Chains A and B, each alone.
Chain A
């Protein structure tokens, strides 16, 4: 992953009512180790951790280890007592890139029934954001290794 992975936003064809423009989502592909097919995942910078559907966890096999803990989470207007797992996932580079998948693992919450009408994986802070630098632009977003941010920017109080 020497270069930034640059993705265009995705227009899933959602209704946009009177907005007058498509609804654009920051989505990338993630896979459970050992699987060829992948899940579309949305990046949610405001989410404290990655959340997935029960079906994703069921497909993960040994890549998902239950912690025995739960966490109250609200999503889609509903409250859940999410079961927590240590989950290994792989980010898949953009189409046309020869880069290898990039693996990470971190805490993930399972919501059942899955409340989100769009994807079965939502990437949050724990796990994803702590392993990747994500830069959002008007038309594209870029995903880079987590240490890139520290090399590029310095908090003002450390100058």
Chain B
């Protein structure tokens, strides 16, 4: 099953997401989020960047 994430509220920010797709923390800078996420109570947080609407589709990883 495709994992579909709804991150539009955090567009352009780095976010820490739990396995259910809920955002527990966000930050403009990745370094800030890494430190913050480790201090949270939640386990299994995953750090990624929320896409910005209208950004070109990256072909592969171009």
CA distance A16 to B4 in the complex (A): 14
Tell whether, in the assembled complex, residue A122 and residue B61 are in contact, meaning their CB atoms are under 8 Å apart: yes
A131 on interface, CB distance cutoff 8 Å: no
Main secondary structure of the interface of A (DSSP, over half): loop
Tell whether, in the assembled complex, residue B4 and residue A114 are in contact, meaning their CB atoms are under 8 Å apart: no
CA distance A102 to B61 in the complex (A): 25
Q: Total interface residues on A, using CB and 8 Å? A: 46
Interface set of B (CB-CB < 8 Å, partner A)? 1-8, 14, 16, 19, 30-31, 34, 37-38, 40, 43-58, 60-62
List, sorted by A's number, 25 A–B pairs whose CB atoms are closer than 8 Å.
Answer: A9-B3, A10-B3, A12-B48, A13-B8, A13-B50, A13-B51, A14-B51, A15-B51, A15-B54, A22-B2, A24-B2, A37-B38, A38-B45, A46-B60, A47-B61, A56-B34, A76-B62, A95-B44, A117-B55, A117-B58, A119-B48, A120-B49, A122-B61, A139-B1, A139-B2
CA distance A141 to B56 in the complex (A): 25
Query: Closest approach, in angstroms, between the C-beta of B50 and any C-beta of chain A?
Result: 7
